[in-house]
Each structure stands twice: as structure tokens, then as C-alpha cells.
A and B are shown apart, each in its own frame.
Chain A
Amino acid sequence: MEIFLLDKTIVVVIVFLITLLIAMYSTWAERKVAGFIQDRIGPNRAGIFGILQPLADGVKMFMKEEIIPTQADKALFIMAPGISMLTALLTSSVIPWGSYLEINGRQVMMQITDINIGMLYIFAVVSTGVYGIMIGGWSSNNKYSLMGALRASSQMISYELALGLALISVIMMTETLSLKSIVEYQAINGWNIIYQPLGFLIFFICALAECNRTPFDLPESEAELIGGYHTEYSSMKLGLFLFAEYVNMFISGAIMSALFFGGYNLPFHEELSTVFSHNTLAILGTVSFMLKTFTFIFIFMWIRWTVPRFRYDQLMHLGWKILLPLAMFNVVATGTVILIKMLW
């Protein structure tokens, strides 16, 4: 029992640290990608290729003066960035980062916990993610913040429906809610993207909206809402809000690669297992999982620096009138195919 707890603690700490590290370097990567797409070089002064830029930014954020508006609801104002960050990080607990490692005859899962309602858990946590933004915007007692918070909450709620429906078809196929089982299902039957291209497209678009990324970054809208829900925030509280966005991006990239792109599975698993030991294979699987996730993060950034922002009515039109019916159609179509297969 003690050994089990120790193993879990180590896994939790490692997952936590890696998530934060990747989120940190996503901020750097975002600026680099933005620079390269705009024919610039991006940050290159702090360290070689600007590799120390996130640290410099962190120091800057901590050293900045902290301003709390006098009319703000102080307790909620301080709580909001914490809630944002918390909900962003909580999701990482059910993501299967790899299969298991064999250490001294014990099997150490490379996943914090494999609960059998993993997908449901993710939905629950992701939908509470809107609270951080909403509370932050409301407690600032500022019109712009409130507008941003309103937009954020309506957007996240609208797109959650299509997101959920897109996943239901995946769950119908795999007949499980546990993420690990979904990944293992794909090891036998091939990647879900082959059977659910429409589902993936809907999920991807909704994931962009859930992360408040362009073209769905209306809650922030630097131009119209001067920052939206974090207008009044300064110092590291602002840093946490921005950071939560990158954590969310990483997590949704990980979820997409786990659900649709085979997670930590390697191609030619049988052939490879004769060459490498089990532990090497597990680590290779984790590396491939990370590579898939990074590809998604890159695509997120690539889209951000390509596509302009939606207008508010266009956003609602897309969410309710296009994505939701499409997702429903996808569920019905998947159900029909499954039914036909069962009857044969």
C-alpha cells in the first residue's frame, strides 16, 4: 500500500511538472511560431534561441505591481485565476500518458488514475473551467471584463454541447468511458480518426472554442474588449490566467491524440517488442504520444496566426446551427452503422 502511494505521488508530481513545463514553453513556442509566420524571428535575446524567455517572463510577472481595484470583490478576484489554473490542471489526471513501466517486478501505470468514467470526468472538469473566467470577469467590477466573461461563458456552454456529442459517437464505438480502454481499443482496431473523421473535425473546432483560441478568442479580444475578462488583472494573477490557457491547450491536444490518434500506441508493436524491452517500448510510446500532442499544439498556434476572429453572431450560428446538428447526425450515423454490424 505504501509503495503504491509512493508510486502514485511520484507520477502525480512528474505529470504536474511536465504539464507546467510544457505550458511554459508553449508561451515561448507561440511567440516563435507567430514570429516565423510573420517573417520575423521571435524572441532570441534571453539565452540561445530565446530559450530562457519563459523564465524571464515569469520573473517579470512576479515582479510587477499587483493592483486590485477598490470596487472589486476582493475574495473572488483573488480566487478566480486559481480556479482557472486548478480546472486546467485537474484534467491531466485521467490522461493515459503511456502504458506501464516494470520496476522491480511492480507495474507502475503512466497515468495518475484510470477511472472507468474518465470521459465523464473530463467533461465535468472542463465545464467548471468557465467559472474561473466568469468569476474573474464579474468580480473585477468592470464593463469590459463583464462583457468578456459573458462572451466566454456563453461560448463555452454553446460549444460544450457539440463537443460532448462528437465524443458520444467515439464512446459508442469503443463502448467504454475509460481513456485507457479507448487507447487500447485503437491498438486493435486502428485509430479512431479513420472511423470518425467528422467527429474529430467537430471535436477539434470545439476544442479551439473551449480553449478560447483564435478564431474563437472573443472573450479576450484585445482590440475590442482590451483583454476581456482579465482587463483588471495584473502581475502573476494575469500570468496564471494566460498560463491556464496554455495548460488547456496542452491538455486538449493530449485528449485529441488519445481519443482519435491512437494515444501512446506505436505502429508495428509486435515487431518492435521482439527488439526492445517492455520499458523502452513504454517510453517510446509516451514519446510518440507527446509528439502527437505537440503537433496539435503547433496546429493550434498555426491556426491562431492564420484565421481572423469570428463575429459574435457568427460564433453562435456556427455553434448551434451547424456544429450541433452535424454532431447529432454523426451520432445517428454511427449508431446506424453499429446496428447494421450487430444485425449481420
Chain B
Amino acid sequence: MEKLTNRSKVVVKKEMTFLESIYLPAIFGGMWITLKHFFKKKPTIQYPEEKRPFSFVYRGLHILKRDEQGRENCTACGLCAVACPAEAITIVAAERKKGEEHLYREEKYAASYEINMLRCIFCGLCEEACPKDAVYLTEELVPSQYDRKDFIFGKDKLVQPLGTSAHPKTYKPYKK
């Protein structure tokens, strides 16, 4: 039979030579290897103090963007919720009233926008589906919680705070 790789070795149960049977050369060989590892540079990253940079396309916690005048981009069209394969997004739409023009960019807005972070698979399809540049996935990790209900993130946690205009990939809502 043809072999898939040339890495396999045929094992033969043969008598050990004298040098092999006293084990000591093999043990010293092994100790030489471990000694080399002893002085190697350690790849450890001291996690809480030192963080490994994420890839630029990393998909983490969502953010609902505002435009340059601080108005919410989302128009509650529901395309993200339709695109979501995990059905994690729930939107309740509402109509913009008079005097709320500075809050919402278009006539319709999301009165409630909830993402269940336990359902979300962070595929980024919502980001792709959004026609209004409203939802993005940041580099931030979803923080751990004690209760299941705390994993349902509403607008209070998702909407970009006023006055910030950061790029979604560098925006860190939980970094103080």
C-alpha cells in the first residue's frame, strides 16, 4: 500500500545493544534536551498585564454607531435580525417624533435593540447586512456575567457613547 506521508517508521522489536541497555546515555541525552529547554525564551504572555493584539478582522462585542452629529444610525429595518443565523437580535421599531431629530438620523429608529450574547456566534453577518453602517463588531470581548439575563445586551450597552467618534475596531467601551 502506498503511504500517505514518509514520516511513519517501521517498529522492530530488536535486542538492545549494551549501550542502550544501560539506559544512561539515553538519560543523559534526555537531560541535555530538557536543559536546552530550561534556557529557552519562554513564550508566556502575562495575561492581565500584557495582552496579545487581536487581528484587525477580529469579531467581538457589537456596537451601534452614531453619525458625525451624534445621531443613531440605526433605522430598525430589521435586516440584521433577518441575517442573524443564531436569531440573537430582537428589534422593536418606533417612529421619530418632532424634536428628536438630533437623536435619530432617520424617521424610524430602534426603540429597543437587544442582542443575546449567549446566542450570538459572532459571525458578523449583521455587520454585513446593515445598509446604514449602524452595527459593527468591535475587538472587545463579551464580559462574563453571573446571570443568563445579564447576557442580553440592550441599547444601553450597545450604543456608542455620545462624543466618541472612534473607529469600531479600536473602540473599547469597557476599558476605563
Contacts and interface: CB of A to CB of B under 8 A. Distances in A.
B143 interface: no
Contacts of B44: 40-41
B40 A302 contact: no
A305 B42 contact: no
A339 B145 CA distance: 81
Contacts of B38: 33, 36-37, 302
B34 interface: yes
B43 interface: yes
Contacts of A302: 31, 34-35, 38
A295 interface: no
Contact of A41 (B27, B34, B42): B42
Contacts of A306: 27, 30-31, 33-34
Interface in A13-49: 33, 36-41
Given A40-B42, A41-B42, A41-B44, A303 B31 contact: yes
Contact of B42 (A33, A39, A303, A307): A39
B43 A39 contact: yes
A98 B37 CA distance: 35
Given A39-B42, A39-B43, A40-B42, A307 B35 contact: no
Contacts of B30: 306-307
Interface string B23-37: 000010011011101
Interface residues of B, number: 12
Interface in A275-303: 302-303
B73 to A, nearest CB: 44
Nearest to A201: B24
Among A33, A305, A306, A307, max chain B CB count under 10 A is at A306
B38 to A, nearest CB: 5
A314 B48 CA distance: 46
Interface in B32-74: 33-35, 37-38, 40, 42-44
A177 B149 CA distance: 76
A266 to B, nearest CB: 28
A305 to B, nearest CB: 6
Contact of A307 (B27, B40, B43): B27
A303 B42 CA distance: 20
A38 B34 CA distance: 8
Contacts of A41: 42, 44
Among B27, B35, B38, max chain A CB count under 10 A is at B38
A37 B34 contact: yes
A334 B33 CA distance: 35
A305 B38 CA distance: 11
Nearest to B41: A39
B19 to A, nearest CB: 15
Contacts of A303: 27, 31
A301 B62 CA distance: 49
B37 A39 contact: yes
A39 B36 CA distance: 10
9 closest pairs, A vs B, by CB?
Answer: A306-B34, A306-B30, A37-B34, A36-B38, A41-B44, A306-B31, A37-B38, A41-B42, A37-B37
Given A36-B38, A307-B27, 5 more contacts: A37-B34, A302-B34, A302-B35, A303-B27, A306-B30
